[in-house]
């Protein structure tokens, strides 16, 4: 049986060579309504930039999908606001690139907030030497 078609809002490549899609159902049905108070969430260009040119990438520690899930993070230009994007991949091993994934969540965590955020495994050159 064929998979149902998904309306893809964008498909981009991250710095380590993974391909990431944002599905309309995730954008319209989860991220925008659930995090509407976070005004940068509504800007698709900022979401894309966070995946294409993140400040850092972290491992997820989520108990169910952690081994298949990555967190892309970027400070929104002109602000101190951090955008975090959770992406789940088809299989473990996303740290070496070449995999396909899709966005499962887009949010702006409060400073010091917890969650299933693990260690940084990739850091942009511009961030090296800066306090994390």
Can you tell me whether residue 103 is helix, strand or coil?
A: strand
pLDDT for residue 35: 47
The pLDDT value recorded for residue 31 is 56
Q: Dump pLDDT digits (tens) for 52-105.
A: 999 999 999 998 888 899 999 999 888 888 899 999 999 889 999 999 999 998
In angstroms, what CA-CA distances link 15 with 25, 30, 125?
25, 26, 11
Question: Widest CA span of the chain, in angstroms?
Answer: 51
Residue with tokens 């998904």: 6
Enter the pTM of the model. Answer: 0.85
State pLDDT tens for residues 100-114. Answer: 999 998 888 887 777
Q: Which structure tokens are listed for 25?
A: 């159902």
Q: Are 103 and 87 in contact (CB under 8 A)?
A: yes
* CB distance 102 to 20 below 8 Å: yes
**Exposure class string for 47-85: b at 16+ Cβ within 10 A, else e:** bbbbbeebbbbbbbebeeeeebbbbbbbebeeeebbbbb
Q: What is the pLDDT of residue 33?
A: 47
């Amino acid at each position: 049986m064929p998979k149902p078609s998904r309306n893809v809002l964008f498909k981009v490549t991250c710095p380590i060579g993974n391909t990431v899609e944002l599905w309309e159902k995730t954008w319209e049905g989860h991220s925008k309504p659930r995090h509407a108070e976070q005004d940068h969430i509504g800007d698709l260009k900022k979401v894309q930039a966070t995946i294409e040119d993140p400040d850092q990438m972290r491992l997820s520690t989520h108990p169910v999908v952690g081994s298949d899930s990555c967190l892309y993070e970027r400070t929104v230009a002109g602000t101190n606001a951090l955008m975090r994007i959770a992406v789940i991949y088809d299989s473990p091993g996303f740290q070496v690139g070449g995999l396909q994934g899709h966005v499962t969540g887009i949010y702006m965590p409060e400073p010091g907030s917890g969650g299933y955020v693990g260690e940084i495994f990739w850091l942009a050159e511009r961030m090296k030497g800066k306090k994390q």
